[in-house]
Amino acid sequence: MGEDATLETDEPASHAVIRVVAAYTNRPPIDLKPLHDVIDVDALDALVSHAGDCVVRFRYEGLRVVVTGDGIAVTGE
């Protein structure tokens, strides 16, 4: 089972990733590893906001994260 979320209006994709992973792991965002240690957050935000049909996949906090122009999906191993 995973956690899915749509991107909120004007919400950077990087913020949404942190929000969704925190909800999935039931941890406060402050307890998560800094996202910028895993991916270039400025590039992620720019890519998702300007190329709506893109797909970005990466691992964060031991989870698989998929970011599209429409939303975010997080799944465990």
Q: Could you state, in order of their start, the residue ranges of all structural domains in the chain? A: 2-75
Place 23 in a pLDDT band, splitting at 50, 70 and 90.
very high
Average pLDDT over residues 26-50: 94
Residues 65 and 33: their CA atoms lie apart, in Å, by 14
Give the mean pLDDT of the chain.
88
Ranges of beta strands (E only) in the chain are: 2-6, 55-60, 63-68, 71-75
Task: Check pLDDT > 80 for residue 13.
Answer: yes
Q: Which pLDDT value is given to residue 37?
A: 97
Q: Which pLDDT value is given to residue 65?
A: 95
The one-letter amino acid at 29: P
pTM over 0.85, yes/no = yes
If one counts every other C-beta atom within 10 angstroms of the C-beta of residue 70, the result is: 10
Helical H segments across the chain, by residue range? 13-25, 41-50
Per cent of the chain over pLDDT 90 is 65
